[in-house]
A and B are shown apart, each in its own frame.
Chain A
Amino acid sequence: MLTAPSLGYLLLSPMIIVFAAAVIGVLVEAFMGKTHRAAAQLTISIGALLLALVQLWRIRDLSSTTAAVNSVTIDKAGIFLQATVVILALIAVLLIADQENFTAQASAVPGSNEEAVALLQKNQQTEIFPLFLFAVGGMMLFPVATDLITLFVALEVFSLPLYLLAGLSRRRRLLSQEAALKYFLLGAYASAFFLFGAAFLYGYAGTISLVGISAAAGSANEVFLLIGIIFVSIGLLFKISAVPFHSWTPDVYQGAPTPITAFMAACTKVAAFGALLRIFYIGFAEAQTMWQPIITVIAILTMVLGSVVAIAQRDVKRMLAYSSIAHAGFLLSGVVALSKDGLAASLFYLMAYGLTTLAAFGIIGLVRDSTGEVTDLNRWVGLGKKSPLVGSVFAFLLLSFAGIPLTSGFIGKFAIFSAAYQSGNIAIVVSGVLASAIAAFFYIRVIIMIFFTDPVNDSVSVIIPSVKSKISISVATVASMVFGLAPSLLLTTATNFATFIK
């Protein structure tokens, strides 16, 4: 007979709250009148995320490897990563709640009469909220999952809603749908690689738990381990958009509705890096000498290509996409470092980068003309003169991406490069510094464009943001600013939380 498994509900509660809220959201879709649905959904989402945050605070000192039998490990770093996801999601949900960004009816053919009617009736696709919550739940599970199957399930749980959400833009819907298709096909492709790799890791270790894989070191044949590491890495490197698995990023970032891009750019990175860190720090740590050179090369390629190509972009969303590629490269140096410092630096970097990214995409959502958002950089010319506040905030965020001192971006890079340096990986530090120097020039070019060039006639205006966007952008910006000026606040926390348990 089977004995009933016991679950640590307290430790799992943050995730359970989010999933439960998503299910409630589905019920709301089914049974609630159209008029109050949006408000109810937003309330549920924010409430659930806040509640999850409170739960995370309550369990901050607990840890266990058996919270969900052996599938999930709740430890310090896991809690920090989950909290990062939840905080960033809280900020992102306010951007998402500005429904002007989403299609009135996804099933209507773009340009059809049906769409026009739906727009006229001010329909809303409120299913966005449950989908969003499912994605958040998956992202919370991903960095704490400790066996390959839970990892795979979590990966799909947060990916599927994102594929869908990417296709729901209100304007330029063809592009949005195309983004969804590309993201979906390539994402599924990458998951297939992940799964194939997982099979070989199982073949190597005889078990699918990360601890088992690390324990099998030396006793089994390494060919399977290497195949496994390579293919599992491909799946994860795709999610963090590392070269050469990055090519979806600019297209999808550009096509998806801007708030979803913001959410995706910030939170996916946290979740995927969380998982990557756990897998490499726990599962593959014994095989360090085998994967470190490979990941180092990928990291260098990623940071250099991302920085260099970001230069050439004429679309602001694509530019940030390449910037996110470059940042993936910088973050990979934290993986390569394979030390407590590296972990702490990565945790800090993820939080700081996430905040900055959210704010930047929030700002992009504000710059519009009569047909919607304007992402063509040539039309941002002179923006700073017309709206000095928005211009200065964006300039600040760009400087933070560039890693100019006094910004959180600098502290993050500093911490992560110093960790990489201490682990003896000089190549990565040198290329990182060079890549940031290249990038810095061109972020500054954009700033000059915004501030010092005279506005052209067909230029754009900045809409007055709604209270929700205002809160979300200002919270993200202020937090990013504070972490730049007084990084100790976050850095100390990150250092305290930088432990994985086996």
Chain B
Amino acid sequence: MINFALDVGTTATPESYLFYFLAPLSVLAALGMLLVKKAVHSALLLAWVMISLAIFYIAQEALFLGIVQIVVYTGAVMMLFLFILMLVGVDTSDSLEENIPGLRPIAIVAAIGFGGLLVSLISRATFNRPIYGLSEANAEGNAFGIAAELFTRYVFAFEVVSALLITAAIGAMVLGHSQKSKSKNSQRDLSIARFRKDSLKDASGLPSAGVYALHNAVDVPALLPTGQAAPSSISSVLQARGDIIESATFEMKKDEEEEK
């Protein structure tokens, strides 16, 4: 502990301030992921961890990765998670009750053992070679350095990743996309269908929703304010073809008027 404090005290570089500020916070955030009830909160905490890591990347001379981490990981991947959470129901909160008896104590013991042993093992490692740093490798810029590796040494893996991307796309499509059993009718199809019918009474379309009307067709005369039919409202062609409904049937009856 004392050594640790000395370490903190004597290496007061900006990086160490950054680290000692952000690292505990990101660990807390990660722990929080396990403890909060709502999945959305977990997602936000994870985003926080990822941004902290991005800052660490930049601090460790990995500028390009830091940016990618924020743009791709935090920006795209976490958004995807949030989308799905919205789909599943953003308000659903997990019950944190354990329903597999005995799992939790073992898990906690295992976690402490796992983490503890790992940390203890790493502390046993001695770096018997100098820590080089990346100033040489990054001489021409971090992005250039990565590109040089990516497009020469690891070009095959890079190409193969495309297979992965295609797989992901097909996968999402197979599981998400419904093939419609038949294509939807276009406006043109519907129009043709209306005019090809036996009767032309729906040719101008059905009455729109909420309208109190019995008819909405070209072969029905309009009603005048007096309640009488207006024969001039019907196309003369239809009159000539005889495709016309007797307007008298639509005129308001006298007795109906009286009732009103």
Contact = CB atoms under 8 A, between A and B. Distances in A.
Interface of A: 2-5, 7, 12, 19, 22-23, 26, 29, 68-72, 105-108, 114, 117-118, 121, 123, 125, 127, 130-131, 134, 137-138, 141, 147, 149-150, 153-154, 156-157, 160-161, 163-164, 167-168, 220-221, 223-224, 226-227
A171 B82 CA distance: 32
30 contacts: A4-B152, A5-B152, A26-B170, A69-B152, A69-B156, A71-B153, A71-B157, A105-B178, A107-B174, A108-B178, A114-B178, A118-B179, A131-B167, A147-B157, A149-B157, A150-B154, A153-B157, A153-B160, A160-B167, A160-B168, A160-B171, A161-B171, A168-B174, A220-B129, A221-B125, A223-B122, A223-B124, A226-B121, A227-B118, A227-B122
A107 B174 CA distance: 7
Nearest to B161: A153
A123 B179 contact: yes
Contact of B156 (A7, A134, A164, A168): A7
A221 B126 contact: yes
Contact of B173 (A7, A12, A108, A127): A127
A22 to B, nearest CB: 7
Interface in B115-133: 118, 121-122, 124-129
B175 A107 contact: yes
A282 to B, nearest CB: 18
B176 interface: yes
Contacts of B177: 107
A150 B181 contact: no
Given A107-B178, A127-B174, A72 B128 contact: no
A4 B148 CA distance: 10
A3 B127 CA distance: 34
4 smallest beta-carbon distances between A and B, as pairs:
A68-B156, A223-B125, A164-B171, A150-B157
A157 B167 contact: yes
B174 A150 contact: no
Given A134-B167, A164-B175, A221-B128, A154 B153 contact: no
Contacts of B127: 221
B151 A105 contact: no
A164 B164 contact: no
Interface string B124-147: 111111000000000000000001
Contacts of B157: 71, 147, 149-150, 153
Contacts of B171: 131, 160-161, 163-164
Interface in B83-133: 118, 121-122, 124-129
Contacts, number: 115
Contact of B181 (A4, A117, A168): A117
A118 B181 contact: yes
Contacts of A156: 164
Interface of B: 118, 121-122, 124-129, 147-148, 151-157, 160-161, 163-164, 166-168, 170-171, 173-179, 181
Contacts of A130: 166, 170
A153 B122 contact: no
A137 B163 CA distance: 9
A131 B170 CA distance: 8
Contact of B152 (A2, A108, A125, A161): A2
Contacts of A220: 128-129
Most A CB contacts (10 A, CB to CB) among B128, B147, B148, B175 go to B175
Contacts of A141: 160
Nearest to A135: B167
A156 B161 CA distance: 9
A5 B155 CA distance: 8
Nearest to B168: A160
Contact of A160 (B122, B124, B164): B164
Contacts of B122: 223, 227
Nearest to B147: A2
A10 B22 CA distance: 51
A7 B164 CA distance: 20
A167 B174 CA distance: 11
A368 B173 CA distance: 31
B151 A23 contact: no
Contacts of B129: 220
Contact of B155 (A69, A117, A168): A69
B166 A224 contact: no
A106 B154 contact: no
A462 B211 CA distance: 63
Contacts of A167: 175
A121 B182 CA distance: 11
Given A131-B171, A150-B160, A69 B125 contact: no
A121 B180 CA distance: 11
A141 B154 CA distance: 14
A105 B160 CA distance: 29
Contact of A134 (B163, B176, B181): B163
A206 to B, nearest CB: 8
A288 to B, nearest CB: 21
B152 A154 contact: no
A150 B147 CA distance: 17
B42 to A, nearest CB: 16
